[in-house]
Amino acid sequence: MDSGKIAAVQMRNITKSFGSVMANDRVWLDIYKGEILALLGENGSGKTTLMNMLSGIYYPDAGQIFVDGREVVIRSPKDAFDLGIGMIHQHFKLVDVLTAAENIILGLHGEGKLDMKAVAARVREISGRYGFEVDPNQKVYDMSVSQKQTVEIVKVLYRGADILILDEPTAVLTPQETDKLFAVLRNMRDDGKAIVIITHKLNEVEAISDRVAILRHGHFVGDMPTAQTNAGEMTNMMVGRPVVLNIERPEPKNAEPRLEVSHLTVHDEEGVKKLDDVSFTAYSGEILGVAGISGSGQKELLEAIAGLHRAEGGSITYIEPGTGAREELVGKDPRDISDMGVALSFVPEDRLGMGLVGDMDLSENMMLRSFRRGRGFFTDRKAPHQLAERVVKELAVNTPSIETPVRRLSGGNVQKVLVGREISSAPTVLLTAYAVRGLDINSSYTIYDLINKQKERGVAVVYVGEDLDVLLELSDRILVLCGGKVSGLIPGRGATKRRVGLMMTRLGGGEGDE
Amino acid sequence: MFDFIAFIPRAVTQGVPLMLGSTGETLTQKSGNLNLGLPGVMYVGAICGVIGSFIYETGTPAESINGFLAVMIPLLSCLAGSLLMGLLYCFLTVTLRANQNVTGLAMTTFGVGFGNFFGGSLIKLTDSEVPSIALSATSSYFKATLPFADKLGWFGEIFLSYGMLAYIAIVIAIISSYFLKRTRPGLNLRAVGEDPATADAAGINVTRYKYKATCIGCMIAGLGGLYYVMDYSSGIWSNDAFGDRGWLAIALVIFTMWRPAVGIVASILFGGLYILYLFIPTGTNLAVKELYKMLPYLVTIAVLIIVSLKKSRENQPPAHLGLSYFREER
């Protein structure tokens, strides 16, 4: 290895299996001080598992871990803290009803009596040093995603961590927030800390990391300085074969209005306005991208269209293909709406929350969509079984069998099942949210292909996405939401990330920015 | 005219078992354990105290009974009995991850049966005419008040007329409140009940916190049972006399929004509501009396409705209440 670099962590022959699945197989990994390492790999390649063993969540079946050259045993998160290892998980580990400062000192030893003023002062000191913005007395449930992430990072630093692991930290951030995070990470690197960032976004690897290490199917494939590689090479190493990294965007054909949303206003259960006077038209054979900071009303928009959320005002008109008959959707039963050909595939943060039943197997989950079509008392199990087999084959779902409960599948595979089922219902309008949330690059492209195929079939696709790069490449038009209002509706071709990012954070932002 | 000077002391003595029960249950619930076995725990606490006291009182000649031992023996047996109940509950729900509701209900059934079995056996041993045991000597030590208390008129009556366990109950409630709000272990405990995965990742030993909070909670609740027999009923045990006080204590936890300090006032209020029917002239119509007995429950329902309408995040039960925690679950 390079001279002059001091290894903070050395992992040797680390092996971990869950049941019959080998999550990590004799992995070697070195982490250096004053360096940002990007850990790259597809879903299920064992990146998070590997890092969880470093942070004490899991315990390796075999192998050795050295910290500062000394062999260590990490049995619990506490052991990891004591070694100066801190991990920022993909799902934040924060207690909602506590304040930032309370979350930060959680589990720490010290005087029994709490001196919150001293804690707050120390939090401010750390924030000042690296350029964070955090209010120690703010309750976590009042925070935005990016603020929560900041609290997580400060929490780890407060514990004196010298080795920071971030698991997909940018998945939920706007481009501006990502830039801010990266600036902070660079400050920490320059301060001599060792940083590992788990990701599958290649552009971020290139932007932030000094070195990249790649895992594939639980094996360590290789590592190299980021400057000496490129996206193509990294993808090939991740996937194990050459992959084309282009999202196609065919011109829409015979676009005609399919769904007209006008002046739609929606409140949530607590009476807070989630959508405010939203109007747009979705055309057949077109992908309408919806961009916005998470929680800007994307979920409510799709649910209102699908009839799952009550609309306080405005109208949603469905225009039937062929006949051109107009049908009002507001006030209609979700079942009637889906029978008309409006399909919703929503992948929530916890993936299983909506659309699939965790304890049921694949074909039973397929039946959730089709059971009403059956006649008679007994259910028809054959057709759903065939459908499940088809989805598994076409989308390369990695499952032991069709009879496996969905809960047991990894996140990416669960998603393929959900998206595959919705697409198979041959919709005329496909509403999809976060279809590739947490999916690796290969599966993501499979899904983009599927969506493009639907577009070519003349389906009006409404695509809510998190990854702006993809949104910009995939969508024919982009609807930008900001705080429940339409911030702008711009053509996808020629739109820039910066402009969309500004529109997401400020109504009408980025105007004339081109 | 409503007789407050007579009413308040009775409300307090009614309220003390509820106060101890709800303080214990609040600590337990803060760790995420919904212990519906509380009525059973309090019942076991009471009968263990009775057994200890019975052995000492019947085995010692009346003139050589030592006041210190007469208090300590029942007290320690009560604490030991309720601790065992707490350990049993934790072993089932935390270690074996059994369903908390089922375990709790089973423990209530078990605790009441256990109490009635030993209560019945002791009653047989005494060959008494009435189906009860009287431990008047022990009770006199538990009920002892400051010597000058009854010389202070209404002040003494309202504030100083209670046995030591009543004051201990208030002190425990205040300490618990301070513990939860202002100390590091208190913060950690709240985190365990809210989000054990987060607490675990922060290096908190979730299992240990759950065990400790639940066992200490059970011991505090057990004292409520002891107070009931030794002070409130003047040392007289009869089967099933404890009634539904355990359930009322659980209702009180919700009523106070998991705040032990509020529990001091609330339990006295509940105690008052519980006996209000005795102070309101209802004539001979028993049905009206029964309606008055509903008051504590109606108030709890009303509070639940008001709180759920307010939807304040601070007033919600611990988020992970009633669920078991398993680290490697995905």
CA B292 to chain centre: 23
**Chain A, chain B: beta-carbon pairs less than 8 Å apart:** 77
A445: amino acid identity, one letter: Y
List CB contacts (< 8 A) between B326 and chain A.
none
What is the pLDDT of chain A when averaged over all its residues?
Answer: 84
| Helix/strand/coil (H/E/C) assignment for every residue in A415-468 | HHHHHHHHHHCCCCEEEEECCCCCCCHHHHHHHHHHHHHHHHCCCEEEEECCCH
Q: Please identify, among A195, A215, A239, the residue that sits at the C-terminal boundary of a domain.
A: A239
Same domain? For A297 and A180 the reply is: no
Same domain? For A70 and A130 the reply is: yes
Same domain? For A27 and A153 the reply is: yes
Report the C-alpha gap between B21 and B43 in whole angstroms.
11
pLDDT score recorded for residue B24:
97
Q: Please identify, among A184, A217, A239, the residue that sits at the C-terminal boundary of a domain.
A: A239
pLDDT score recorded for residue A509:
65
* Helix, strand and coil percent figures for chain A, each rounded to 5: 35, 25, 40
How confident is the model over A359-369, as pLDDT tens digits? 888 888 887 77
- Smallest CA-to-CA distance from B173 within B244, B221, B242 is with B221
**A488 to chain B, minimum CA–CA distance in Å?**
34
Rg (C-alpha) for chain A, rounded Å, is 24
Q: Distance from first CA to last CA of chain A, Å, rounded?
A: 45
**B255 to chain A, minimum CA–CA distance in Å?**
19
Same domain? For A121 and A205 the reply is: yes
Q: Please identify, among A208, A239, A270, the residue that sits at the C-terminal boundary of a domain.
A: A239
Query: What are the start-end ranges of the H helices in A42-191?
Result: 47-54, 77-82, 100-105, 116-130, 145-158, 175-190
In our burial notation (b when 16+ CB lie closer than 10 A, e otherwise), range B124-159 reads eeeeeeeebbbbebbbbbbbeeeeeeeeeeeeebbe
Check A94 against B199: CB less than 8 A apart.
Answer: no
Give the total number of structural domains in chain A.
2
Same domain? For A182 and A53 the reply is: yes
Find the mean pLDDT for residues A468-473: 84
Do the beta carbons of residue A102 and residue B314 sit within 8 Å?
A: no
What distances in angstroms separate CA A130 from CA A218, B37, B85, one per listed residue?
A: 34, 50, 51
Tokens standing for residue A304: 């209102």
Find the mean pLDDT for residues A373-383: 70
Q: Pick from A53, A106, A359, A409 the residue to mutate for testing the B interface (most B CBs within 10 Å).
A: A106
pLDDT score recorded for residue A374:
60
A360 in any annotated domain: no
Same domain? For A167 and A311 the reply is: no
Same domain? For A258 and A232 the reply is: no
Domain with A474 in it: what CATH number? Answer: 3.40.50.300
- Smallest CA-to-CA distance from B215 within B10, B7, B4, B37 is with B37
Q: Does B128 touch chain A (CB under 8 A)?
A: no
**B311 to chain A, minimum CA–CA distance in Å?**
9
Report the C-alpha gap between A134 and A152 in whole angstroms.
11
Report the C-alpha gap between A446 and B184 in whole angstroms.
50
Same domain? For A235 and A261 the reply is: no
Same domain? For A129 and A187 the reply is: yes
Identity of the residue in A97, A102, A109 whose CB atom sits nearest the CB atom of B313: A97
Do the beta carbons of residue A8 and residue A86 sit within 8 Å?
A: no
A416 in any annotated domain: no
B180 CB-near residues (< 8 Å, 6+ apart): B27, B30, B186, B189, B190, B260
How confident is the model over A163-179, as pLDDT tens digits? 999 988 887 777 788 88
**A268 to chain B, minimum CA–CA distance in Å?**
14
Region of residue A465 (phi > 0: left; psi between -120 and 50: alpha; otherwise: beta): beta
- Smallest CA-to-CA distance from B25 within B324, B321, B327 is with B321
Give the residue carrying structure tokens 């900041």: A150
E strands, A340-382, in order: 342-346
CA A268 to chain centre: 23
pLDDT score recorded for residue B82:
97
Which strands sit side by side in the sheet containing A70-72, from one edge to the other? A21-32, A7-18, A62-67, A70-72
Do the beta carbons of residue A236 and residue A262 sit within 8 Å?
A: no
Tokens standing for residue A412: 């990416």
User: Is A351 or A100 the better-scoring residue by pLDDT?
Assistant: A100
Report the C-alpha gap between A235 and B271 in whole angstroms.
71
Per-residue pLDDT band for A351 (boundaries 50, 70, 90) equals: low
Q: Pick from A83, A85, A97 the residue to mutate for testing the B interface (most B CBs within 10 Å).
A: A97
| Helix/strand/coil (H/E/C) assignment for every residue in B185-238 | HHHHHHHHHHCHHHHHHCCCCHHHHHHHHHHHHHHHHHHHHHHHHHHHCCCEEC
What distances in angstroms separate CA B144 from CA A476, B232, B264, one per listed residue?
A: 85, 12, 21
Same domain? For A80 and A106 the reply is: yes
- Smallest CA-to-CA distance from B249 within B85, B42, B101 is with B42
Report the C-alpha gap between B223 and B163 in whole angstroms.
13
Report the C-alpha gap between A30 and A222 in whole angstroms.
11
User: Is A508 or A113 the better-scoring residue by pLDDT?
Assistant: A113
Same domain? For A132 and A204 the reply is: yes
A113: amino acid identity, one letter: K
A11 in any annotated domain: yes
User: Is B206 or A235 the better-scoring residue by pLDDT?
Assistant: B206
A73 CB-near residues (< 8 Å, 6+ apart): A65, A79
pLDDT score recorded for residue A513:
46
A472 in any annotated domain: yes
**Residue A359, burial from CB neighbour count under 10 angstroms (0-12, 13-18, 19+):** exposed
Domain B4-315 sits in CATH 3.30.450: no
Per-residue pLDDT band for A313 (boundaries 50, 70, 90) equals: confident
- Smallest CA-to-CA distance from B178 within A99, A138, A114, A98 is with A114
Look up the ipTM and state it.
0.83
How confident is the model over B140-189, as pLDDT tens digits? 999 888 878 778 888 888 888 899 999 999 999 999 999 999 999 999 99
User: Is B63 or A139 the better-scoring residue by pLDDT?
Assistant: A139
Phi, psi of B18 (to 5 degrees): -65, -40
pLDDT score recorded for residue A511:
56
pLDDT score recorded for residue B41:
97
pLDDT score recorded for residue A4:
66
How confident is the model over A13-22, as pLDDT tens digits? 999 987 777 8
**A410 to chain B, minimum CA–CA distance in Å?**
9
Pair type for strands A477-482 and A460-464: unpaired
Same domain? For A129 and A228 the reply is: yes
Report the C-alpha gap between A165 and A132 in whole angstroms.
17
The answer on pLDDT for A353 being more than 60 is no
Identity of the residue in B194, B203, B328 whose CB atom sits nearest the CB atom of A76: B203
pLDDT score recorded for residue A319:
86
User: Is B203 or A286 the better-scoring residue by pLDDT?
Assistant: A286
In our burial notation (b when 16+ CB lie closer than 10 A, e otherwise), range A30-40 reads bbbbbbbbbbb
Check B203 against A102: CB less than 8 A apart.
Answer: no
Do the beta carbons of residue A15 and residue A369 sit within 8 Å?
A: no
Q: Enter the DSSP assignment of B91.
A: I
List CB contacts (< 8 A) between A94 and chain B.
195, 198
The residues pairing with A460 across neighbouring beta strands, listed in sequence order, are A286, A429
What is the span of the domain harbouring residue A331? 251-341+429-435+457-514
Which strands sit side by side in the sheet containing A313-319, from one edge to the other? A273-283, A257-267, A313-319, A326-328
Do the beta carbons of residue B9 and residue B162 sit within 8 Å?
A: yes
How confident is the model over A100-110, as pLDDT tens digits? 999 999 888 87
B269 CB-near residues (< 8 Å, 6+ apart): B11, B15
Report the C-alpha gap between A315 and A320 in whole angstroms.
16
A307 in any annotated domain: yes
Report the C-alpha gap between B91 and B114 in whole angstroms.
19
A182 in any annotated domain: yes
A73 in any annotated domain: yes
User: Is A428 or B168 the better-scoring residue by pLDDT?
Assistant: B168
Percentage with pLDDT > 70 across chain A: 93
A200 in any annotated domain: yes
Which residue is closest to B198 within chain A, CA to CA?
A93
Report the sign of the C-alpha dihedral through residues A4, A8, A13, A14, in that order.
Answer: negative
Q: Distance from first CA to last CA of chain B, Å, rounded?
A: 64
Low-confidence ranges of chain B (pLDDT < 70): 1, 311, 328-330
Q: Does B328 touch chain A (CB under 8 A)?
A: yes
* Helix, strand and coil percent figures for chain B, each rounded to 5: 75, 0, 25
Q: Enter the DSSP assignment of A376.
A: S
User: Is A512 or A411 the better-scoring residue by pLDDT?
Assistant: A411
Pair type for strands A477-482 and A485-491: antiparallel
Check A98 against B191: CB less than 8 A apart.
Answer: yes
